[in-house]
Amino acid sequence: GAVVSQHPSRVICKSGTSVKIECRSLDFQATTMFWYRQFPKKSLMLMATSNEGSKATYEQGVEKDKFLINHASLTLSTLTVTSAHPEDSSFYICSASRGLNQPQHFGDGTRLSIL
Amino acid sequence: KQEVTQIPAALSVPEGENLVLNCSFTDSAIYNLQWFRQDPGKGLTSLLLIQSSQREQTSGRLNASLDKSSGRSTLYIAASQPGDSATYLCAVYLNFNKFYFGSGTKLNVKP
């Protein structure tokens, strides 16, 4: 199988806090990982694509200084929401792939609530 | 820009019915198309993946078809069960890791 673990599953924190979300591929090496954001009753929107050992590629309109992505190993990528505000509250999902044009395997998502 | 539309947005059916979910996309230059299931507050479970050169894929009670030239895909669910209740998402995959999702069809199968 191809298992992707995302942690934490839920975060509630105060405005101004920075929050780190981890995405791990448990049984395969993920050269590429993806971060999505999902608003209620809306589709998933790709935020950024990260390749192991290189800088992430952000989609248009996504603030790279706000959403810091690190992909330091073949099994771990992190998304840090810096100085989070209520409008950052959302459902964040990661996925991992063995490489270009290979199937993506999704984590269970992180519900982020900023008070 | 690729746009993916799913119709209907919501569907409620009695148990045992066969049903069809629709997905349309505007740019036919896709690498593949994938159907996912999403349970409330959860991530995505891949159901079926159709390569651009394929016409359909089957898994158990699920059958997905792809007509790339017309920009359409359908997901057919046979003999629906309450456990099938979830949101079903279709997503088209373009080259270079561009994945575009529809907004989903929320299915409720009543016992």
CB contact set of A40 (below 8 Å; sequence gap of 6+)? none
Task: Give A3-59 pLDDT, tens digit per residue.
Answer: 899 999 999 999 999 999 999 999 999 999 999 999 877 788 999 999 888 889 999
Residue of A nearest to B106 (CA): A41
Distance, in Å, from the CA atom of B58 to the CA atom of B64, rounded to the nearest integer, reads: 6
Residue ranges of alpha helices (H) inside chain B are: none
Which residue carries 């008070």 as its tokens?
A115
B86 contacts B97 by C-beta, under 8 angstroms:
no
pLDDT(B96) > 70: no
| SS3 label, residue B82 | helix
Task: Give B64-90 pLDDT, tens digit per residue.
Answer: 999 999 999 999 999 999 999 999 999
DSSP A63-95: -TTTEEEEEEETTEEEEEETT--GGG-EEEEEE
B33 contacts B100 by C-beta, under 8 angstroms:
no
B62 part of contact set with chain A, CB < 8 Å: no
Average pLDDT over residues A56-75: 92
Residue of B nearest to A50 (CA): B97
Q: In this complex, which of A42, A103, A108 lies closest to B43 when CB atoms are compared? A: A108
